[in-house]
Structure 1
Amino acid sequence: MSVAHVVVTVFAAVLVGFSAVSVFTRAPWVVKPIADYGIPAGWMPWLGTAKAAGALGLLAGLAVPVLGTAAAIGLILYFTGAVIAVARARWFSHLAFPLVYAAPVVAALVLAQAA
């Protein structure tokens, strides 16, 4: 395990964790776009739980690598779904937002596999 792997993984977990907290607290900068994309408000707790579980899984993966790999793959699938939802809503200017969260997760997965 390299220093880069630990730093990138912790950064990814903090970023995704922040996103989960933003969903749970129903921050306006999260709720309005999600509604604009056509995602039902009833999905908010599930979306936040998926992000929180992914963030915790990334951190747990530092001790048990298979958990980190599973969490990273799950988060990559989650953010791929987010990109698809944004594209289906035709908010192409917002496509970068889920990618900002996905990029460090992908980097953490690549570094974990390289270790």
Structure 2
Amino acid sequence: MRAGFVVGPLAAYGVPRGWWDRLGAVKLVGAVATVLRARAYGHVPFPLVYMAPAAAVLILA
């Protein structure tokens, strides 16, 4: 699903649609790195749950 509050600005800024999934995956990897850097290991599963579908899309696309 593409939430309007996410894709609206991307479209307004002229980001090509082909980049959206990759940008989302990078954002999620950044979220995991931030959680690990903060040593909040109990929170690691949450960004990973969101990263799994994005990774699947990139692999299958």
TM-score (norm 2): 0.69
Any unmatched runs of 5+ in structure 1?
1-12, 21-48, 58-65
Question: In the alignment, which of 51, 54, 57 is matched to residue 105 of structure 1?
Answer: 54
Paired residues in the alignment total 55
CA distance in structure 1 between the partners assigned to 2:46 and 2:25 by the alignment:
14
CA distance in structure 2 between the partners assigned to 1:87 and 1:110 by the alignment:
24
1:83 aligns with 2:36: no
RMSD over aligned Cα atoms: 2.6
Which structure is higher in helix share?
1
Runs ≥4 in structure 1, deviation > 2 angstroms?
none
**Bigger Cα Rg:** 1
Percentage of matched positions with identical amino acids? 38
Any unmatched runs of 5+ in structure 2?
none
CA distance in structure 2 between the partners assigned to 1:79 and 1:91 by the alignment:
16
Which residue is equivalent to 1:67?
Answer: 17
* Displacement after TM superposition at 1:93 (Å): 1.2
TM-score (norm 1): 0.40
